[in-house]
C-alpha cells in the first residue's frame, strides 16, 4: 500500500459538522431512557442552549463569509456555502428528534409521574378562570402588540426572543399581522393555581386570552416563532480608540445583526411565514418547522423541581482532604492553606472538590493574610455575584497590591465583565482589559507572600474559569503550588497584561501564543522518534476540541510510525481515527455525562520518562495562536497518579463514552457482559472515599479499575529493559542515540536533549522523520491461545523452570481474547475473576503479577 498523505483534505473532518455531531451526543442523553426523566429533560434544554449558540457563532460566521463572497476552503476542502448547506441539512433532523421525543415520550412520562405541561383549554373551568385572572392582572400589562400594516413598519425582533405571530381582521375585513413578544421577565412556566406540579406555558396562556389583548378583532391564526441572529460582529481592535467602547459597540451591533435562523410552528400558515421571511430576509433553508415548544431552555426550571425520584442522585462537591476541617487525626479547625501548599502541590478537581473550599479559599486567604504582598488574577468568565471579585476587592482594601486581567471579549460575557471592570476600578484596583489581537483565556492566579525565609510565590493554574456556579457542573482541574519556577513564569505572564510585550522564555509553563505550539509539536515528534527507535511511545490527550490542522498532521505522522495515541475529545475533532497506514494507532473518545467534561490533560510516555500537563488550552488554532493560554507540568508522583486514574477510567468507560469511527460518526459504548463503568460516578466515589479516609490525596485511586498502562514516574532500568523486550524486537544500536530515563541530561529549562533535535538512534530528527518505517513486531493472530508475542518467545527473562517461553505460553489457560469492541485481552485472576485489557502489555503485566 502506498504511503498516505497526512495533509490530504479527505483525512480532515469539518469543524462545524463535528460540533453538530457533539450536539447530537448531547441530544442522545436527552432521549436515553437509562437516564431518569428530569435528567433527560435537562439534556433537551442543554441541546437548545448549545444549538442557539452554535447558530449565533458558527452559522452566523458562515453567513458572513457567504455575504462577503469568501471562497477559501477549509482543511477538509469545503467552501463557506458548502458548509452552510451541510450544516442546515445536518441540524434539521436533530431538532425534529428533540421535538418528537418530547411530545411522544418525555412529556407523557413526566405527566404520569405528576409533572404536567398542560394546555389551558384542557383544564377545568375553575382553573381556566383563575389563570385568566392571573393573565389579566400580571401578564397583560407587560405585553405590547406590534402591528405590521400600511400604517405601521415591521417591528424589530430581538435575538432569541420567542414571539407570537397573529393574523387577524377587523370588522371592515382589513387584515393585519401582529407580533407579540413573549416577555422575558415573566416566568415561561406558569404554575396552575393549587397545583405545584402542573404548569402551562406563557405563550399558550397568552394565546388563550388574546381577546383581552386584541379586542374586537377576528383572529385567524396564532403561531409561535423564534429568531436567531448572528453574534459574529466585531470591530477592528487595531483602530479602536478604547477597548471598552469597542466592546460596547459590538454588543449594540449584535442586537441588530443578520438573522441566521427562523424557528416556527410546524403549522404556521404561508401568509405569516412569507411576511417573516421577506421582512427578515430569510432563505427557505433557514426556516425550521417545530412541533410542540420551540424553546426548551426554560425547562431548566422544571429540572430544579424537588423530585429526587425523577433525577440522578444529587452530588455535593466535597472538601479537598488536604484542605478539610482536620489535618491528620489530631488537629481541629481548618489548616492554613499556604502551609499546606508548602507541604506539597495540591491537585483540585471540580465539581468533585468544592470550588469554594479550594480556589475561593485560596483567594480569600490571600486577601486577608497580613503576610501577603500582592494578588494577581486573570478573569475570563465569573459569576454575576462573584465571590472571586469580592476577594480581590477585599485584598485591595487590605493594602495588597492587586492586578486583575478581565477579558472583555469573552463571548456572551462581555456585558457582565464590563460591569466587573467598572466596579474593580471604582475600588482603585489596576485592571487590564485584554490584549490587542489576543484573547486572554488563561485561568491563573498568583499570590506573593513574605515569609521568614524570603518571598514565596503561590500559584493557581487551572483548566476552568473562576466561576463558582459553572464549577458545580463543569469538570475542571487546578494546581495549587509554591513552585518558584511556575511562580516566576506567571509573573512574566501578568507583566505582559500590563506591559508592552510577552516574553518567550519560560522555566516550566507552556504559554500560548509564544511557546506552546512549538513545545507540544516537539513532544509529539519526540514520541515518534522513540517509536522509530523501538522505545515505548504513547500519547494520551484529554481536551475539548482538536481543530488545528497542523496538530492533526503531527498526530497522523506519529501514528504512522507506531505511536499509540488515545484522544479524549469532548466535541470538535477534525482527525479521522482508524485509517490503515495513517491513523490505525489512534482512537478518539468522547464522554458526555452529568458534568460537562472541560479539563485538559496531556500525557507523553517519553520512553519511560513520562511527562504530564494540565492547562487552559485545547488543540485549536485559536488557543495555540490567538489566545494567551497557560499549561503547567504536573511533577508530583501522587498527583500524576490521580491524573492517570482519570484518564484510564475515562478510556474504559462503557456508560458515557462514545468512540469515533473513521467516517466521523460515533458509537456509544455499552456494557457487554462487563460491569458498568461510568467515569463520573467512579470519580465521585473516589472523592468521597478520600474524604472518608481523611487528610491525603484528593481521590482514592482504585487500582482494580486501572491497569497501570500510563506511567506516573520514570521506569527503573530493569523495568525499562523488560518493557522494551516485551514491546518490540527493535534494539537501539550500542552507543547510538540519547539515553532516556534518570540519566538523561536536562537543561535549565527542564527540557531533555531529545527535544532539541539531537540524534535519535544515530540519526538526526529530520532524518528520522523522513526515513522509511522500521520493521515492527509481528502481529498476533486472532484466536485462543495464540502467542501474542508473535511466536518468537522474546519474553525470555529467567524463571524457576529456566525456560524461555513467552508469559502467554506459560499461562495459556489463564488468558483469552474476548469478543469485545473495547478490550482485546482478558486475564483470569487467581480469585477466578476476569480483568480486561486494551493492550497486550497490560495483559502481560497482569499475568506476571498473578502467576509469577
- What is the mean predicted confidence (pLDDT) over 55-72? 89
Where is pLDDT greater, at 231 or 62?
62
Q: Where does the pLDDT of residue 382 fall: very low under 50, low under 70, confident under 90, or very high at 90 and above?
A: low
- What is the mean predicted confidence (pLDDT) over 322-335? 57
Strand partners, 438: 435
Report which of 180, 185, 178 is spatially closest to residue 138, judged by C-alpha positions. Answer: 185
CB 649 within 8 A of CB 682: yes
Q: Where does the pLDDT of residue 700 fall: very low under 50, low under 70, confident under 90, or very high at 90 and above?
A: very high
- What is the mean predicted confidence (pLDDT) over 43-50? 97
- What is the mean predicted confidence (pLDDT) over 380-387? 71
Distance of alpha carbon 411 from alpha carbon 432, whole angstroms: 17
Q: Tens of pLDDT along 338-356?
A: 999 999 999 999 999 999 9
Q: Which pLDDT belongs to residue 830?
A: 82
Q: Which of 539-548, 681-690, 705-714 has the lowest mean pLDDT?
A: 705-714
Task: Tell me the Cα Rg of the chain.
Answer: 30
Cell of 336: 492554613
**Residues classed as catalytic:** 441
Distance of alpha carbon 593 from alpha carbon 676, whole angstroms: 14
Quick one: CA dihedral 121, 127, 128, 131, positive or negative?
negative
Over 60: is that where the pLDDT of 825 sits? yes
Over 90: is that where the pLDDT of 804 sits? no
Q: Tens of pLDDT along 158-169?
A: 999 999 999 999
Over 90: is that where the pLDDT of 598 sits? yes
Over 80: is that where the pLDDT of 636 sits? yes
Residues 6 or more apart in contact with residue 196 via CB below 8 angstroms:
none
- What is the mean predicted confidence (pLDDT) over 283-300? 96
Over 80: is that where the pLDDT of 766 sits? no
Q: Tens of pLDDT along 143-160?
A: 999 999 877 889 999 999
Q: Which pLDDT belongs to residue 416?
A: 59
Q: Where does the pLDDT of residue 829 fall: very low under 50, low under 70, confident under 90, or very high at 90 and above?
A: confident
Over 50: is that where the pLDDT of 772 sits? no
Q: Which pLDDT belongs to residue 577?
A: 98
Q: Which pLDDT belongs to residue 778?
A: 31
Q: Which pLDDT belongs to residue 839?
A: 78
Q: Tens of pLDDT along 206-246?
A: 999 999 999 989 999 999 999 999 876 554 333 333 444 54
Distance of alpha carbon 834 from alpha carbon 828, whole angstroms: 5
Q: Tens of pLDDT along 244-262?
A: 454 445 444 445 468 999 9
Q: Where does the pLDDT of residue 752 fall: very low under 50, low under 70, confident under 90, or very high at 90 and above?
A: very low
Distance of alpha carbon 44 from alpha carbon 38, whole angstroms: 10
Distance of alpha carbon 376 from alpha carbon 478, whole angstroms: 16
Question: Model's pTM, two decimal places?
Answer: 0.81
Maximum alpha-carbon separation in the chain? 107
Distance of alpha carbon 221 from alpha carbon 154, whole angstroms: 18
Percentage with pLDDT > 90 across the chain: 65
Give the E-state strand segments of 47-148 in sequence order. Answer: 116-118, 146-148
Over 50: is that where the pLDDT of 762 sits? no
Query: How distant, in Å, are the alpha carbons of 51, 153, 178, 275, 755 from that of 218?
Result: 37, 21, 12, 19, 78
Distance of alpha carbon 725 from alpha carbon 128, whole angstroms: 79
Report which of 407, 413, 411, 458 is spatially closest to residue 434, judged by C-alpha positions. Answer: 407
Q: Which DSSP string do the residues of 363-399 spell out, in sequence order? A: HHHHHH-TTEEEEEEEESS--TT-HHHHHHHHHHHTT
Helix intervals (H) in 677-764: 679-693, 717-727
Cell of 438: 489576543
Residues 6 or more apart in contact with residue 371 via CB below 8 angstroms:
449, 450, 451
Whether cis (ω within 30° of 0) applies to the bond prior to 620 is: no
- What is the mean predicted confidence (pLDDT) over 292-297? 95
Q: Which of 183-187, 195-199, 225-229, 708-712 has the lowest mean pLDDT?
A: 708-712
- What is the mean predicted confidence (pLDDT) over 574-578? 98
Over 60: is that where the pLDDT of 741 sits? no
Whether cis (ω within 30° of 0) applies to the bond prior to 513 is: yes
Over 50: is that where the pLDDT of 522 sits? yes
Q: Tens of pLDDT along 455-511?
A: 999 999 999 988 888 999 999 999 999 999 999 999 999 988 877 777 889 999 999
- What is the mean predicted confidence (pLDDT) over 447-458? 97
Residues 6 or more apart in contact with residue 132 via CB below 8 angstroms:
208, 209, 212
Amino acid at each position: 500500500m502506498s504511503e498516505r498523505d497526512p495533509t490530504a483534505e479527505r483525512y480532515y473532518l469539518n469543524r462545524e459538522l463535528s460540533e453538530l455531531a457533539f450536539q447530537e451526543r448531547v441530544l442522545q442523553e436527552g432521549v436515553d431512557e437509562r437516564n431518569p426523566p428530569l435528567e433527560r429533560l435537562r439534556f433537551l434544554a442543554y441541546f437548545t442552549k448549545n444549538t442557539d449558540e452554535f447558530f449565533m457563532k458558527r452559522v452566523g460566521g458562515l453567513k458572513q463569509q457567504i455575504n462577503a463572497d469568501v471562497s477559501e476552503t477549509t482543511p477538509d476542502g469545503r467552501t463557506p456555502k458548502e458548509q452552510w448547506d451541510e450544516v442546515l441539512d445536518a441540524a434539521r433532523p436533530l431538532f425534529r428528534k428533540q421535538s418528537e421525543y418530547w411530545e411522544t415520550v418525555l412529556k407523557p412520562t413526566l405527566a404520569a409521574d405528576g409533572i404536567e405541561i398542560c394546555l389551558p383549554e384542557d383544564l377545568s373551568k375553575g382553573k381556566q378562570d383563575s389563570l385568566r385572572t392571573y393573565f389579566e392582572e400580571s401578564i397583560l400589562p407587560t405585553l405590547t402588540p406590534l402591528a405590521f400594516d400600511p400604517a405601521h413598519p415591521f417591528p424589530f425582533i430581538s435575538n432569541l426572543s420567542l414571539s407570537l405571530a397573529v393574523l387577524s381582521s377587523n370588522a371592515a375585513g382589513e387584515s393585519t399581522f401582529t407580533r407579540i413578544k413573549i416577555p422575558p421577565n415573566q416566568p415561561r412556566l406558569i404554575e396552575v393555581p393549587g397545583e405545584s406540579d402542573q404548569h402551562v406555558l406563557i405563550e399558550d396562556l397568552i394565546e388563550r386570552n388574546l381577546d383581552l389583548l386584541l379586542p374586537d378583532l377576528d383572529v385567524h391564526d396564532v403561531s409561535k416563532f423564534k429568531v436567531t441572529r448572528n453574534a459574529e460582529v466585531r470591530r477592528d481592535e487595531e483602530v479602536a480608540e478604547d477597548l471598552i467602547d469597542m466592546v460596547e459597540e459590538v454588543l449594540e451591533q449584535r442586537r441588530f445583526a443578520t438573522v441566521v435562523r427562523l424557528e416556527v410552528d410546524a403549522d404556521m400558515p404561508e401568509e405569516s411565514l412569507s411576511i417573516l421571511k421577506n421582512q427578515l430576509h430569510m432563505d427557505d433553508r433557514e426556516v425550521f418547522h417545530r412541533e410542540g415548544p420551540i424553546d426548551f431552555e426554560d425547562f431548566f426550571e422544571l429540572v430544579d423541581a424537588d423530585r429526587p425520584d425523577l433525577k440522578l442522585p444529587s452530588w455535593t462537591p466535597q472538601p479537598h482532604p488536604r484542605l478539610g476541617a482536620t489535618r491528620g487525626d489530631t488537629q481541629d479547625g481548618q489548616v492554613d492553606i499556604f502551609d499546606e501548599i508548602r507541604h506539597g502541590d495540591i491537585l483540585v478537581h471540580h465539581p468533585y472538590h468544592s470550588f469554594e473550599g479550594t480556589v475561593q479559599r485560596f483567594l480569600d486567604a490571600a486577601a486577608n493574610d497580613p503576610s501577603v504582598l500582592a494578588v494577581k488574577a486573570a478573569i475570563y468568565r465569573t459569576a454575576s455575584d462573584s465571590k472571586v471579585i469580592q476577594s480581590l476587592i477585599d485584598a485591595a482594601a487590605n493594602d495588597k497590591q492587586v492586578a486583575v486581567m478581565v477579558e472583555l471579549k469573552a463571548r456572551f460575557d462581555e456585558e457582565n465583565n464590563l460591569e466587573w471592570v467598572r466596579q474593580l476600578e471604582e475600588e482603585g484596583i489596576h485592571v487590564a482589559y485584554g490584549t490587542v489581537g489576543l484573547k486572554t483565556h488563561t485561568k491563573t492566579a498568583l499570590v506573593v507572600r513574605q515569609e521568614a525565609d524570603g518571598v514565596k510565590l503561590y500559584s493557581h493554574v487551572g483548566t476552568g474559569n473562576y466561576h463558582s456556579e459553572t464549577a458545580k457542573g463543569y469538570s475542571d482541574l487546578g494546581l495549587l503550588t509554591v513552585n518558584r519556577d511556575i511562580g516566576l513564569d506567571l509573573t512574566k505572564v501578568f507583566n505582559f497584561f500590563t506591559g508592552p510585550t510577552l516574553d518567550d522564555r519560560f522555566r516550566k509553563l507552556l504559554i500560548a501564543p509564544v511557546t506552546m505550539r512549538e513545545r507540544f509539536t516537539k513532544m509529539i515528534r519526540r514520541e515518534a522518534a522513540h517509536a522509530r527507535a523501538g522505545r515505548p511511545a504513547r500519547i494520551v490527550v484529554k481536551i475539548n476540541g482538536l481543530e488545528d490542522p497542523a496538530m492533526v498532521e503531527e498526530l497522523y505522522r506519529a501514528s504512522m510510525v507506531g505511536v499509540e495515541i488515545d484522544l479524549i475529545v469532548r466535541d470538535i475533532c477534525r482527525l479521522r481515527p482508524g485509517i490503515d497506514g495513517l491513523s490505525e494507532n489512534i482512537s478518539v473518545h468522547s464522554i458526555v455525562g452529568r458534568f460537562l467534561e472541560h479539563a485538559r490533560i496531556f500525557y507523553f510516555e517519553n520512553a519511560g520518562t513520562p511527562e504530564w500537563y494540565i492547562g487552559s488550552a485545547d488543540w485549536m488554532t485559536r488557543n495555540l495562536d490567538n489566545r494567551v493560554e497557560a499549561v503547567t507540568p504536573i511533577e508530583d508522583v501522587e498527583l500524576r497518579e490521580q491524573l492517570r486514574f482519570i484518564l484510564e477510567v475515562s478510556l474504559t468507560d462503557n456508560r458515557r463514552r462514545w468512540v469515533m469511527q473513521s467516517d466521523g460518526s460515533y458509537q456509544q459504548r455499552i456494557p457487554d457482559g462487563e460491569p458498568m463503568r461510568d467515569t463520573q460516578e467512579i470519580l465521585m466515589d473516589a472523592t468521597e472515599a478520600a474524604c472518608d479516609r481523611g487528610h491525603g490525596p484528593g481521590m482514592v485511586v482504585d487500582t482494580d479499575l486501572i491497569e497501570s498502562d500510563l506511567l506516573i514516574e520514570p521506569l527503573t532500568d530493569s523495568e525499562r529493559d523488560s518493557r522494551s523486550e516485551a514491546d518490540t524486537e527493535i534494539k537501539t544500536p550500542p552507543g547510538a542515540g540519547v539515553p532516556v530515563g534518570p540519566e538523561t541530561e536536562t537543561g535549565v529549562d527542564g527540557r531533555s536533549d531529545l527535544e532539541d533535535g539531537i540524534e535519535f538512534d544515530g540519526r538526526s530528527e529530520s532524518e528520522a522523520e523522513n526515513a522509511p518505517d522500521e520493521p515492527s513486531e509481528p502481529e498476533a493472530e486472532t484466536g485462543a491461545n495464540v502467542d501474542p508475542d508473535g511466536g518468537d518467545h522474546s519474553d525470555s527473562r529467567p524463571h524457576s523452570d529456566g525456560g524461555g517461553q513467552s508469559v502467554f505460553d506459560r499461562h495459556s489457560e489463564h488468558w483469552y481474547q474476548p469478543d469485545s469492541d473495547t478490550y482485546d485481552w482478558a486475564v483470569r485472576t487467581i480469585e477466578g475473576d476476569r480483568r480486561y485489557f486494551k493492550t497486550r502489555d497490560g495483559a502481560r503485566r497482569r499475568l506476571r503479577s498473578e502467576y509469577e
